Every structure is written in C-alpha cells, then in structure tokens.
Amino acid sequence: MKNSIGFKARVFLLGAALAFVTLFPAVSAAGTLDALPKWDDPHMIVHLEDVSEAMGRLGSSFFFDHFLDESARERAKDSQDTPFPLRFAREGCLEWLKNFPVESFSLVKGLMLENEDTFQGAIRFASDKQEILDKLSAGVDGDDAEEREKLQADVLDLFGFPPDPNLRLLAFGSSFADSSTSVADKNLYEISLNFDDKYFFAEDAAFFSFYASVEKDGDENILLIGSEPGEVEKAREAVKDEGSRMKITRRGPAGYKNFAQINDTSDGSMTRDILDGLSFEPKAPAFLEFSFGFPEEEIIGAAIRHNLLDVFLGGAGKPSSAWSPDEPGLRFGGGFPWLAGLLSVVMTGDDALGLLATLGGGNKEQAREFLGEQNIDVETLTKAFRSFGFVLGGKSSLLGQEMPGGYAFVSGGAGAMKALLPLIRAFFENVFDFEEAPREGWDVFYALNENLREQLAMPLFAGLKDGTLLLGCLTPETLEENPEIEWPDGSGEDVFRARLNMQSLSLLPIELSTPWLPARLTGMLENLGIEDMLNAQTYSAFLKTLLCAQEIWEITLGMSDWGSLDLTAVTGEVNYWQALELARLARELD
C-alpha cells in the first residue's frame, strides 16, 4: 500500500509550517486568497490549501517522527537536557501537527523594495475554532488584566498551542513562552511571538509581531493579518468589496492549488537589486512560481515555472528537445541504476560553437578556427552533440568486490562522432592517463594504464560506440548489458529528465559496509589526494537522511521546456530491514 505524501512535499510543508505558519500562522482555501486586497507590486504571494490534512500527514509520517527523534538525540548529546523533556517535546510537536487547526492561508508581501516589511494575509481555521473567532470578533477589553490573560490563552488555543506556559515549554522548548497578545483597538489585536526553540529548530531567538482582526467571509470567520493596522484595514475592505480584491495570474499547472509566487517590477528593479554590483540590465521582468499538489493518491507533484532565460538572454532562440527513452547512451552497464538523467536538444551551429567555446575557455570565433585546423565543420559538431546524460548504479567493482558503478556520456550521429575521433583520442590521451585497449564493436576504447589500475582497483574506462562517447567506471563484462531504467509515462517530449530510485540508493551504503572495505577505501582516497571528501560526520548525516526518506520510492525531475521544472515523488511502505541497517551504520559512525 502506498502513502499519499512523499518526502519532498514533507520537507516543503515543514518549511511552510515552521516559516510561514509560525511566522504569521497558517494556510489558505480559495476564500483566503480572495480576501487579499489589490497591490501595485505584489512581489511575493503564498497560497496553501488543505493545510490541516497535510500537517496531519506530516505529523503521522515516518519522516517527521525520525527527524524529531534524531534532533532529540543530538540535543541530548550536546546539552544538559534530560531525555524525558526531549521525548515530551517530540510527542508535543507530533501531536500539534496531527491536530493542526488551520485549513488555509494566503499571504502577500513586499520583496526587496521599500515595502519589503509590509504584508497582508488571511487565515481560515477548522470549524471547532469558530467559537474563539466569534469571541475575538466581538472585541476584548484590553485594559482588564484578567481579560488580557484570557485573550492570550485564546490566541494560543486558536493555533493549537497549549495555553499552560509549562506545557508549552515542555512541548515546544521555550517557543511561545514569552509570546503576548494585546488589544490595539476594538477587534484589532497585536500578536507577538518569541521563538527560542532549544530542542529542535532554532539555534537563536527570533521575534515576530503582527496585527490581526476577525472578519466574516460568507458564513465563516477568517483571521486577517498585516504588518501594520493600515494593512489589516485594507484587507477588511477587500473582504467587504469584491472589486478591491487582488487578481492573480497563475503560471503553474492548474491542478496544483498550493503555490508561492515571486514577481519583479515592470522595470526589473528586483533583479537589479539581487545582482547589485554587476552591470547587468534585465531583458524582461522576472517571475518565478513554485507550486505543488497531490494529483494522484500515491504521487506528490511539484512544479517551478520561470522566465530566467528570457531575463538574461532576452528571449534568444533556445534549442528544441530531442529527448527519447530509447537513447543509446542509456544502454550500458546493466543492473538497477539509482540515478539516471538525460538532456537532449537539437542545436544550431551557433549553439555548438558556443558550447565548444565554453569548454575550451575561448570565444566562438576561436572555436571556429580550431575546428578548421582539425578539418571539422560546424554541421558535424551539431550532429555529434545531441544528448548529454549519466547513469549511476550499473555493475562495477571496487577492490575486487562487486559494487555499483556508473558513467557519463555525450551522444549524437555515429558518422559525426567518428569524424571527431582525432579530437577524442587527443583528449583522453593528453588530459587523462588512459591507454588504448581495442575492444570488439567499439570505434575506440580506453582503460587506465597498468600502474593506475593497481592503485585504484576500479575499472575506469572511456570509449566511443554507436555514436555515444562514454567515460565512467563499469566492469568490462557488463558494458554490453542493458540497465533497468523505467521512465514515467509521457516523458518523451521533455528537454531534460532525471530519475532517482531511492530503494537502490538506500542499498548502496549497506552494500559498501563490509568490514574490510573502509580501511582500504581510505588508502585509495589518499592515493587520489581526496581523503577529506569523506568523513564520518558527513557520511553519518547522509545515512540519517536516507533513513528519514524510507517512505519515498522514487523521484523524477523533468523539464518540458526551458522555463519549467517538474517533480513527482512516488511513496510506499517503509522497508524496515533497510531502515534498521541504515540506523545501525549511522550509530557506528557517531
């Protein structure tokens, strides 16, 4: 049975919960988005729906349970805290998420301009919070100490936090222990939140303050928030007058209702501020939209839409797609790869010259002269450079033991690639310490020289076959075997696609955990001069990340055009044997 929420979405929702939700609590149904007033320059817009359900899934997830558990271990190890309060805090956080009271949230905010600290938002709560909202809507006497204390308790309860300071301290560290709510005017409240969560999230204290008011939107109360009383008043007017509400143009897929959008001003001032110090003039106003949703029961979907190439290149021609799941460059090494990717384009002569100039560190005219010296025309280059890709996880060996390997490749027309053989030979013989080793069916094949083969004890190779130029680490007997790569349906029109198989990736460190391997691996890294690349702390953190992500089975990234990036994550049941092995390996390194 597959779960309905994946690791990537949980990471995003965690960020939303702890950045947006606790910053100006919560999340949005369509009504909250409609409640936002018009802005001349709405630079940041955030809109989230079905928040209570999503947070409940987060609180019940394998990922978040282990994330908090590991956080508690680290804090107990580095401080004088006792295990009991840390465990209590962990359970308190999980319970808070499982009963998260916010249904929807919308926010509009200034960004990198004079109004960057200005924001407005609207929050819709679960039906069981309507009684508190009714009370706040009626107004509270701010001069009465007892009423102020009750008001503080009501606001904390509204967001699901325990009203008792001692319970809050145990459940959330010292977060909200010093929070306060005061009455600025009838049905206008100033809410201050003091974050100092010593258990899980914040290393340093943070303080946030905003204004809030309860208004009727149809049959329900919603909470309007703003950076200043005047911003709340504008939101009040928008709720009452549909003509004063903000109109938003969506760019992401229609099925993804949750989104965060960033828009530049018409003169590109935001882009210039970001690139301050560079004499760059934007060619177009920038926009970026991140959106996500749950298009199918077992799949999480996310998408990014942008026009960054237009901003920097001014809408210059972009290569079209030549992507195909039958690309010959994906057919080497056998096994079950944990990561495969393919960028495939149809290039013009100018594109090819630009690529060669970049690789050679010169300009296009120098690239053209170089090709002429080699008796190679530009058309041959465009036919040779069609696809670029990689496959990680094929069959290889290390120190005499079978291990996953992989390779990178450039693919194109067989005739065009053969015409480039003089360049290919010069590259591998001069840049790498390879020696030619003739192999049947290959136009050219290279292996490491004998001295390096003894030092590295791994089958590094390079070669050209069927118009595909490869460089990688695969055992010679598996070079002709097809790997098992399953691309999702509908991926044939993409410019780029990559697939991460989390099940295969999680097995990798377990396969590498033989007792005799670490010492010999360290010696090999020392021979290469890169022994600092792998240390116990970094490797332990990697293993713990894999452990938390055991619900996810695979992640696919795709670009349908040069202004998009789409992600889908398929989740499923946790492999507990694999999880226990990863936990054991991580503990051995701590």
The residues with which 559 forms a beta bridge, in sequence order, are 496
| pLDDT value of residue 498 | 93
* 6 backbone dihedrals φ, ψ, rounded to 5°: -105, 170
pLDDT band at 29; cut points 50, 70, 90: very low
Mean pLDDT of 246-254: 82
CA distance 118 to 113: 10
**Distinct helix (H) and strand (E) counts, the chain:** 22, 21
Domain C-terminal end among 220, 248, 276: 248
Mean pLDDT of 97-118: 78
201 and 331 co-located in one domain: no
Q: 387-434 pLDDT, tens per residue?
A: 899 999 988 887 677 778 899 999 998 999 998 888 888 888 777 778
What percent of the chain lies above the pLDDT cut of 90?
A: 14
Contact between residue 333 and residue 479 where contact means Cβ atoms under 8 Å apart: yes
| pLDDT value of residue 76 | 63
Q: 372-387 pLDDT, tens per residue?
A: 887 888 888 888 888 8
| pLDDT value of residue 429 | 77
How many of the other CB atoms lie within 10 Å of CB of 313?
Answer: 13
The residues with which 223 forms a beta bridge, in sequence order, are 123, 214
75 and 161 co-located in one domain: yes
443 pLDDT more than 90? yes
The larger pLDDT score, comparing residue 15 to residue 527, is at 527
Contact between residue 231 and residue 211 where contact means Cβ atoms under 8 Å apart: yes
Q: Taking each helix axis from N to C terminus, what angle separates 536-548 and 62-78, rounded to the nearest 10 degrees?
A: 150
332 and 227 co-located in one domain: no
209 and 341 co-located in one domain: no
* 107: in domain: yes
Instruction: Find the domain containing 483 and state its range.
Output: 320-347+385-589
* 26: in domain: yes
CA distance 26 to 104: 6
Mean pLDDT, the chain, integer: 77
Q: How far apart are the first and last CA of the chain?
A: 34
341 and 476 co-located in one domain: yes
The larger pLDDT score, comparing residue 22 to residue 384, is at 384
Q: 340-373 pLDDT, tens per residue?
A: 999 988 888 887 787 777 666 678 888 888 888 8
* 286 backbone dihedrals φ, ψ, rounded to 5°: -85, 150
Rg of the chain, C-alpha, whole Å: 29
| pLDDT value of residue 266 | 78
User: Measuring CA to CA, which residue among 387, 315, 289, 295 is closest to residue 346?
Assistant: 387
The structure tokens listed for 415 are: 């005739």
* 375: in domain: no
Phi-psi region of 335 (alpha: psi -120 to 50; beta: other; left: phi over 0): left
515's enclosing H/E stretch is none
204 pLDDT more than 70? no
Q: Which amino acid appears at position 161 of this protein?
A: F
User: Measuring CA to CA, which residue among 505, 449, 447 is closest to residue 471?
Assistant: 447
The structure tokens listed for 306 are: 């942008």
Q: Which amino acid appears at position 156 of this protein?
A: L
* 14: in domain: no
| pLDDT value of residue 532 | 55
462 and 577 co-located in one domain: yes
324 and 244 co-located in one domain: no
Mean pLDDT of 210-237: 87
217 and 85 co-located in one domain: yes
292 pLDDT more than 60? yes
Within 13 Å and on the Cβ side, how many CA atoms surround 49? 15
319 pLDDT more than 80? no
440 and 332 co-located in one domain: yes
Total of domains in the chain: 2
User: What single string gives the DSSP state of each residue in 249-287?
Assistant: ---S-TT--EEEEEE--TT-HHHHHHTTTS----SS--E
CA distance 448 to 435: 6
27 and 136 co-located in one domain: yes
